[in-house]
Structure 1
């Protein structure tokens, strides 16, 4: 077989990045294939938030390599014998350099698979978890994504936690498990992607009340963090009560490319005076690089302002909203007009179209020459039908 140039082989192997079984087979071909495939396998094995996307045996093999780097003497004193299958030969790679994504649920899985769940010693599990964090925070210098959506906090006790978070570029947090002082203490900077969610899956009444009480102050801290990272931020996803977020950071988001605003406020957004503040700061803003916009349950004038203040580079828009407003037909007409006037490069569009404004869709096709499909929802007996309108069908 003719030998492939390494650069070409690397491109081929990268296409298998989400197929760990095939990558593992490639590792066994020869040394060249192994050296190229190992970093890809390790980088993307942790790409998913959920470790259970991989087979149990595959996870055990990977964890066994990680355990090789843990301080064995310290763990032996605690009667924790890891790894279960010691590696006798010298490792060919510094595997810790290949980590790019980290979620506490992966650390939890490492501990659960290493110490039997029926073990009476919870203390052992906590110590092992802490040692894994110490190892990762000190050795894994290339981690750029941190997924903090579980009630895990042990890593905050690591002495170099602030140094670790200073290197994080992509951060996902769940406000349900977040205390306001945590964001302030970590001093997070240089974030390019930020996702904030509120899962509302806590059945503990006391924790739920605590979260509700913390949320206003936490949102103030979030707004401050966004302001400090405004220059580097390219992607923002906010899935919580939007009106609790101060919009003062919007004028600084000059490099924003991807924006999702999901307003989770029980459908009372029309009654909030906070939207006046949002409107004020949006009028002072300009998003010259915005390419993707998705909104849920925002007032129409806010959606229109974001589109108006974009630089005409938006490629995709997804808008979901209710029909509660008495002025909805007029608002819908205005939104269609704004899209047709300011989105000449748009390719995909999803929105609700009031039946009396359906004839205005032609304006979008006339001005948005790159548009391929419109996914539109129409009211039908208080329900929404979703249809696809192709350019070929319309012209």
Structure 2
């Protein structure tokens, strides 16, 4: 039998998506074992907080670290291995999350009633030193510690390999940022949690990047203009293609002025954009290359309608998720947004948006103009029209008459009234082109009769799946 070389075997093993299969590979022979061990430790170790894994990691500490801990009266578990390990397990691992490091520290001090902070920090320090010196080809780091990671042995090599960096500014100081900027220059993604008090350190780090593509800001709440950070981000306007703003509640219009420099932005994701919308309302940025727009807990549809009008027809997905308490002004402006999408997003494939009972004319235009639409979700506010159910039949009739052939996923929520005849006519219109999914919620209908219609068309192959059948068992 022809023998596969190690590279081929590694590619095959890496496609196995369950630990059980990889465990079986450990038992075949030494070569298979070596390959399977590396993949198991890379993929699964840091998602598993079992004591046995923690003991092996503590066993990987070098003698100098173990001696330092002992000299400071830090007693490691008696279950850690004293003999040399078969593998350098840490070299297989991705860098651990702060939570994983904390879990090991907690395990060591679990049965000790009172532990001084400096002892916990010393153990944490030795664990971070171990990973920084031994982790190979690591591309991600979540920095949430006050320890000077950039000064640890092997730091220059470790930070040179990083592609994604998340920093919680409550823990990191300016000296570390300046040090990092010396050899961390190939980041594709930079995330900043909590607004940095020292802007210059982050300016230095941002300026050092040669191909910064994704930026995540927040959550943070801060007063001030933050002019230096704003200008640093603007200088990367040609390379940044994805921007995530999460609860960036900075009440200063000048902070957001860097957005006008993001001429190649393809994805904009915003969560809790209260101040962003209110401060920037009179200055709508232009994103000609924008493809994805995701907004959560928004307050103003009109702002995003105007933003979409300034794009160049490349949008593929628009998704809006309202807060639990619907904003009256936002819901009233739904027609303006749907109209903007219908007129400017002919390539759109996925849409999730709220709808008012007066917006059907715009939905019709949307279905007629957007011939590549695959999935649509229309949400009607329960709080507005609970006692005024909308005409669900009219909505279904529009889908039946005007849906593009590409549309195969329809989700409807809110208070709508559907007749049995409306259901029948809707599903008959899709006979021959089929629906992958049809989901509705908060609907007013005769559950059993409507569900029977849905099940009929599932059995006939017109519809594949629907959440409606689950109502039978509620």
1:299 match? 300
Task: For 1:156 and 1:218, locate their aligned partners in 2 and report how far apart those are by CA, in whole Å.
Answer: 29
Q: Is the 8 A contact 2:216 2:244 kept in 1?
A: yes
Alignment of 1:210-221 (within 5 A): 215-217=222-224
Question: Cα distance 1:103–1:359, how it changes in 2: closer, same or farther (>3 A)?
Answer: same
1:96 positional shift: 4.1
Contact persistence 2:268–2:293 (CA under 8 A): yes
Aligned residues: 360
TM-score (norm. length: structure 1): 0.73
Structure 2 CA distance for partners of 1:223 and 1:135, relative to 1, 3 Å: farther
Shift of 1:106: 1.7
Instruction: Give the equivalent residue in structure 2 for 1:206.
Output: none
Contact 1:345 1:369 (C-alpha < 8 Å) held by counterparts: yes
- Counterpart of 2:151 in structure 1 is 159
SS of alignment partner, residue 238 of structure 1: strand
Deviations 1:185-206 (A, max 9, x none): 35433344433443xxxxxxxx
Give the TM-score, by structure 2 length.
0.62
2:74 paired with 1:80? yes
Which 10-residue stretch deviates more, 291-300 or 137-146? 137-146
Deviation at 1:372, TM superposition (A): 1.7
The 10-residue stretch of structure 1 (8-17 or 373-382) with the greater mean CA deviation from structure 2: 8-17
When Rg is computed on C-alpha atoms for both structures, the one with the higher figure is 2
Aligned counterparts, 1:164-175, within 5 A = 168-172=162-166
- Pick one of 250, 258, 262 that aligns with 1:253: 262
**1:27 maps onto 2:44 in alignment:** no
Q: Are the counterparts in 2 of residues 173 and 196 from structure 1 also a CA contact under 8 Å?
A: no
Of residues 183, 188, 205 in structure 1, which corresponds to 2:205?
A: 188
- 2:243 alignment partner, SS class: strand
CA contact under 8 A between 1:343 and 1:368: conserved in structure 2? yes
Q: 1:230, CA displacement in angstroms?
A: 4.1
Residue 321 of structure 2 aligns with which residue?
320
**Would the aligned equivalents of 2:128 and 2:149 in 1 still touch at CA under 8 Å?**
no
CA deviation string 1:39-83 (max 9, x = no partner): 43333336xxxx6x5251453255245435863333332243557
Q: Is the 8 A contact 1:134 1:158 kept in 2?
A: no
Matched residue SS, 2:380: strand
Q: Does 1:63 align with 2:57?
A: yes
Give 1:126 deviation, angstroms.
1.3
Distance 2:104 2:33 in 1: 25
Partner of 2:131: 136
Shift of 1:262: 0.9
* Residues 1:263 and 2:280 are matched in the alignment: no
Distance 1:42 1:115 in 2: 25
2-structure distance, mates of 1:256, 1:66: 44
The change in CA–CA distance for 1:258 and 1:128 in structure 2 (over 3 A counts) is: same
Matched-pair contact (CA < 8 Å) for 2:91–2:135 = yes
RMSD of the TM alignment (CA)?
4.0
C-alpha separation in 1, matches of 2:250 and 2:66: 51
Task: Report if aligned partners of 1:68, 1:82 keep a CA contact under 8 Å in 2.
Answer: no
- Report the equivalent of 2:190: none
Paired residues of 1:293 and 1:317 also in contact (CA < 8 A): yes
Give the drift of 1:4. 5.4
Q: Deviations over 1:292-335 (max 9, x none)?
A: 32112153343234434445443322113444228x54x32232
Q: Tell me how far 1:341 sits from its aligned partner.
A: 3.1
Q: 1:127 aligns with which of 115, 122, 126?
A: 122
Take 1:233 and 1:248, find their aligned partners in 2: how far apart are those partners?
A: 15
Q: How far off is 1:173 after superposition?
A: 5.0
Gaps in structure 1 of 5+ consecutive residues: 199-210
Secondary structure in structure 2 of the residue aligned to 1:124: helix
Q: How far apart, in 1, do the equivalents of 2:361 and 2:128 lie?
A: 59
Cα offset for 1:87? 5.6
Q: Distance in 1 between matches of 2:128 and 2:270?
A: 33
Task: Report the alpha carbon displacement of residue 336 of structure 1 after superposing the two structures with TM.
Answer: 1.4
Shift of 1:108: 1.1
Deviates more, 1:217-226 or 1:123-132: 217-226
Segments of structure 2 that go 5 or more residues without pairing to the other structure are: 172-193, 409-425, 431-474
